[in-house]
């Protein structure tokens, strides 16, 4: 009967080469680094530079969608004019982008 069906060996399943496993794990880490970690680090570095460069008079768009002009800046906060007599104090880290001059019109 063993002629048609090979006998199963319990240790036969564990005989894979360990170096191929290590190479596969290294390749997976490299793929994660270049596809996930590195782009996120670049994006974070660009946002940090944007927040550090905020000045009075810049027109900004916040993460919440508020468009306004910066009227005051401190270390962690910025005062943003969003209307004629309306100013709000926001965290500088919530600024998503600096928009071109003239986008915010005070009409």
**Is the residue at 68 inside a domain?**
yes
Put simply, whether the predicted model's pTM sits higher than 0.75 gets the answer no
User: What is the distance between the alpha carbons of residues 70 and 27, in angstroms, rounded to a whole number?
Assistant: 46
**Is the residue at 104 inside a domain?**
no
**Is the residue at 3 inside a domain?**
no
Strand, coil or helix: 78: strand
Domain with 61, as residue range(s), is 55-98
Q: Are 74 and 89 in contact (CB under 8 A)?
A: no
Among 91, 58, 87, 86, residue whose Cα is nearest residue 74: 91
Question: What's the domain count of the chain?
Answer: 2
pLDDT tens per residue, range 22-60: 999 999 999 999 999 999 999 999 999 999 999 999 999
- Indicate if 26 and 60 belong to the same structural domain: no
- Indicate if 94 and 64 belong to the same structural domain: yes
pLDDT tens per residue, range 6-26: 665 554 555 567 888 899 999
């Amino acid at each position: 009967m063993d002629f048609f069906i090979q006998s199963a060996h319990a240790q036969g399943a564990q005989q894979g080469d360990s170096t191929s496993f290590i190479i596969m794990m290294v390749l997976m880490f490299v793929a994660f680094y270049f596809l996930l970690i590195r782009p996120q680090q670049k994006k974070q570095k660009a946002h940090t530079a944007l927040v550090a460069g905020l000045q009075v008079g810049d027109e900004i768009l916040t993460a919440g969608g508020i468009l306004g002009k910066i009227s005051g800046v401190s270390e962690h906060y910025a005062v943003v004019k969003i209307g004629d007599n309306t100013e709000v104090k926001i965290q500088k880290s919530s600024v998503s982008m600096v928009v071109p001059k003239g986008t915010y019109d005070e009409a």
